[in-house]
Chain A
Amino acid sequence: MQRLDDIAQAIKSANAGASYLTFDIVFADRTALDRVAQSGAVNAEAIGAMYKVAPADVGVYVCDPVLTIKVTIPRGTSSGGMNETDFDGTQQFAPLLDIPVP
């Protein structure tokens, strides 16, 4: 079992508009991408639990040409409002690093 942080080359976190947060988990090669994609470790249930959103609201996309798994979730609050903590959504990826990958 390895942590996702040990397998992924990079993880980007950003707003996708004011109502979504999107994570791009980038791999260095196809082997690493396939291993994680096929393991099901990055799935709607795991992400939903981590970010306290309903699994039905989680989008997981495997993007072959860029060796990336994209995960999109709704934002807790719309960006830039009074309770904003991170208005570009760039520092929300930490929980992803510890995802165990078989």
Chain B
Amino acid sequence: MSYKILANCAVGLGFSAAGFEEGLRRRPDLVGCDAGSADFGPGYLGLGTDAKPRSSAAKDLSRMIEGAVRVGAPFVTGSCGGPGARPHVDSFLDIARETAQNMGRKLRVAVVYADQDPAVLHKALDEDRIRSLGAFQPLTHEAIDASASIVAMMGTGPLMQALDAGADVVLAGRCADPAILACGPLRAGIPAPIAWHAAKTIDKGYLATTRPREGSPVIATLDDEGFTVEPTKESEACTIHSVAQVTLHENPDPFRIIQPSGTLYVEHAKYEQIDDRRVRITNSGWEPAKRPSVKLEGARQIGYRTVMIAGLRDPRLLSRLDEFLDDYRGIVARIVKSLGVGPDDWKMTFRPYGRNAIMGETEPMMDAVPHEVGLVVDVVAKTQDLANTIISRAGPAGSRYDFTGRLGGGGNFAYPFSPNRLSLGPVFEWSVWHVMDVDDECAPFRVELVEV
């Protein structure tokens, strides 16, 4: 049997329209595109806002939905809006509704919610079914309750249910990237190793081609022995290198890729360049999980942030930057104490761009004296007003500070902006970054059918 998947990189990043049309001409069985990631950080999950502007997402979504429906293939997207929580799925549903109206026809849309009920997580924690992912601290009941929002990452199970229900469009909440594309072939009876490896290879769309900037969608053609990958845009190519490196991308382990329902093994996969544009892959491995597990992501608010940017150009200050920053820290601490603010209500971080703002402690060139530093003074405090107040006092105090050896008394700081107090709003951190063992990979998720 044969199964064709047409895939793009990510909703909101755009793709070649001509390439997409060419892909549709090939009559795919499924059209899919990832819409999100935890890579944007915990902020969007905490805030409930979409990572990409609506118009940007709508442009891509409407084109893909219209095209898929036109050729009679379902369209699947997952991790709507970035974090894939309820508000994000609903915002994509709104776009789908608008698309249907513009198309002048009704669409059957399946939404799959990934939001987790804290009660369910508390129970799982008590039953010792939750473990950390990487070096994250163990989950606590307190962290669950303090989280603004918690989602679980679905695999193919709930998506297959959505397809079984006859959906034209599937808008899934937080979802494992390859599941978005593997659900179709698995449902059609393609062997699991092939379905999963093909999905994993094309789930970043044009990143599997040699020239991602050309934005070519990719097509994987699956059969019972393996799959072939190619770009749809005639001018573009897939090579063994361009295709194999996708499984390395942002993965801790290049050979084993863990999914909710099992693990994909690619170490012994065979890659063949069948012509100058297409690659065939066989001998992929898959081991079903003894017990399904889902990744949990949760965000908690830790305060409000205000920052100030101060340019430093005084060679005498820069030659003793550590000493200056130590003194400055002490000066600000005294100011904050005088405001009657407790130590737990605020935190200040110095980010000296030009020195070690990017690598911190691991910067090998920390001792080199730069001629210029962009010092970002970053305050996170209990309220926005407190963060603003601390910055507004820290600025003049630092600029006026008569450090040892200072020449010019005009001011230590070169401010680029007026006002230089940049209020950046709520700040979040990951409060949940764990894996939960479950009996049924569909149980944490809810599929709803909507006609739009």
- Where the two chains meet, the residues of A that have a C-beta atom closer than 8 Å to any C-beta of B are 14-20, 22, 24, 26, 50-52, 57, 59, 61, 63, 65-68, 70, 72, 74-76, 78-88, 91-92, 94-95, 98
The contact of A14 among B42, B250, B362, by CB within 8 Å, is B250
Q: How large, as a class, is the contact surface on chain B?
A: 35 or more
B380 contacts the other chain (CB 8 A)? yes
A82 to B380, CA, bound (A): 8
Contacts of A92 in B (CB 8 A): 358-359, 362
Number of residue pairs spanning A and B whose beta carbons lie under 8 angstroms apart:
123
Q: How far is the CB of B229 from chain A (nearest CB, A)?
A: 13
Nearest 7 CB-CB pairings of A with B = A19-B134, A80-B41, A81-B429, A16-B252, A65-B244, A74-B135, A72-B252
A61 to B41, CA, bound (A): 27
Contact B347 A82 (CB under 8 A): yes
Contacts of B254 in A (CB 8 A): 61, 63, 68, 70
A78 to B139, CA, bound (A): 14
13 CB < 8 A contacts A-B: A16-B251, A18-B134, A66-B241, A66-B244, A66-B245, A75-B135, A79-B39, A80-B428, A81-B42, A85-B358, A86-B359, A88-B39, A92-B358
Contact A15 B364 (CB under 8 A): no
Closest to A72 in B: B252
Contacts of B136 in A (CB 8 A): 18-19, 78
A65-B244, A94-B364 are known contacts. Are A22 and B359 too (CB-CB below 8 A)? no
A72 to B430, CA, bound (A): 20
Contacts of A19 in B (CB 8 A): 133-136, 433
Q: How far is the CB of B430 from chain A (nearest CB, A)?
A: 5
B248 contacts the other chain (CB 8 A)? yes
Contacts of A95 in B (CB 8 A): 359, 362, 364
Contact A85 B357 (CB under 8 A): yes
B360 contacts the other chain (CB 8 A)? yes
The contact of A82 among B244, B269, B349, B364, by CB within 8 Å, is B349
Q: How far is the CB of A14 from chain B (nearest CB, A)?
A: 5
Contact B362 A20 (CB under 8 A): no
Contact A18 B358 (CB under 8 A): no
B291 contacts the other chain (CB 8 A)? no
Contact A52 B250 (CB under 8 A): no
B415 contacts the other chain (CB 8 A)? no
